[in-house]
Amino acid sequence: MTEVNRQMVLAERPTGNVDSNTVRLVEGVAPDPTDGEALVRVKYLSIDPTIRTWMNDVPGYLPPIGIGEVIRSGGIGEVVASSSSRYRPGDLVFGMLGWQDYAIVDGGAATAQAIPAGVEPPVALNIFGVTGMTAYFGLLDVGKMARGDVVVVSGAAGATGSMVAQIAKLKGASMVVGIAGGPDKCRWLVEVLGCDAAIDYRNDDVGTRLRSECPKGIDLYFDNVGGDILNTCLGKLAIHGKVVLCGAISVYNDRSLRAGPANYINLVGKRGRMEGFIILDYLDRFVEAQAAILGWLFEGKLVHAEHIVDGLEHAPDALNLLFTGGNTGKVVVAV
């Protein structure tokens, strides 16, 4: 094979949104797989907020992406050449493929898994990928959501948030309130996703709306955004209320840490719990969540939305959508 391999590499560390100085397109030649490896033609990329955190030069749960390295990213591709018994040409596989045309996968660190038959790749990236897994384990395992809970989720029109809202309803939450930006997203949350109420943080006073929608307080708040909304929700917890910290998209682009939530102190009076998690810790339980999600999908109980951006070269714009709120549902790049 001497196919051209376009790669998007980190040229310099961003200080805010990603732009043309941050990521550069370079061209090379697709590598040949050696023993135990396979070459995968990347077809779709999963665009997740955490990619932005990997661009910073700070220690995290994974090492930062190095300058000159391909942007790390989940994706789905087709095996085009294989020297491994695990992969056959034509297989569709799922793994950390990166922002490039061709990726090498193996049975070790760069392993890839098959995607369920009958599910379109962008849908698989959404509900069976880190998005769906994050929603499922964050809500049920970290948050230990109980039947009857009043659940509030921010970033509710985003990929993870929209799954959280629906799984909460499916698991018997007494009330699900989604927080999102703008009337269109809020209408979608109520009319399509089935949220009991939606709060438009751009036009509503979040605290006032929460007080009227959740007069007994919030049993479980699933936080995707951090910042003021986290602080407001901490101030409205019910006794034994829980906050699941999934991320803090409102602050990932900041150069320095903002002030934290002053209302953390409410965790004392309310005997509350705030807990973070990293979905990679659940890798060996993904199959459990995927089975549940596949069941809901085939029963028609799960709405999913994918926001497709065409062209590898537009992956940085796709990533920025997450921070400007330009998407509804999962952002996927069709390479």
Q: Does 274 bind a copy of itself (CB under 8 A)?
A: yes
Check: CB of residue 318 under 8 Å from CB of residue 47. yes
Among residues 4, 278, 291, 308, which is the contact residue for a copy of itself, using CB under 8 A?
278
Out of 261, 316, 325, 329, the only residue in the binding site for a copy of itself (CB under 8 A) is 261
Q: Which is nearer to a copy of itself, 95 or 226 (CB)?
A: 226
Range 236-255, binding a copy of itself (CB under 8 A): 245-248, 251
Stretch that binds a copy of itself, among 107-115, 117-125, 268-276, 324-332 (CB under 8 A): 268-276
**280 vs 308, which CB is nearer to a copy of itself?**
280
- 93's enclosing H/E stretch is strand 92-95
Name which of 132, 220, 139 is nearest 175 in CA terms.
Answer: 220
Burial class, 253, CB count within 10 angstroms (exposed 0-12 / middle 13-18 / buried 19+): middle
Query: Cβ of residue 279: shortest distance to a copy of itself, in angstroms?
Result: 10
Taking the mean position of all CA atoms in its chain, how far away is CA 235?
26
Q: Does 271 bind a copy of itself (CB under 8 A)?
A: yes
Q: How far is the CB of 10 from a copy of itself (least distance, A)?
A: 20
- Rounded distance between C-alpha atoms, residue 325 and residue 334, angstroms: 20
What is the total count of residues that contact a copy of itself (CB under 8 A)?
Answer: 32
- What is the Cα–Cα distance from 241 to 256, expressed in whole angstroms? 29
Work out whether 57 is an interface residue with a copy of itself (CB under 8 A): no
DSSP 329: B
User: Minimal distance in Å, beta carbon 281 to a copy of itself?
Assistant: 6
158, 226, 316, 325: which one binds a copy of itself (CB under 8 A):
226
DSSP 5-42: EEEEEE-S--SSS--TTTEEEEEEEPPPP-TT-EEEEE
- Binding residues for a copy of itself, per CB under 8 A? 60-61, 226, 231, 245-248, 251, 257-278, 281
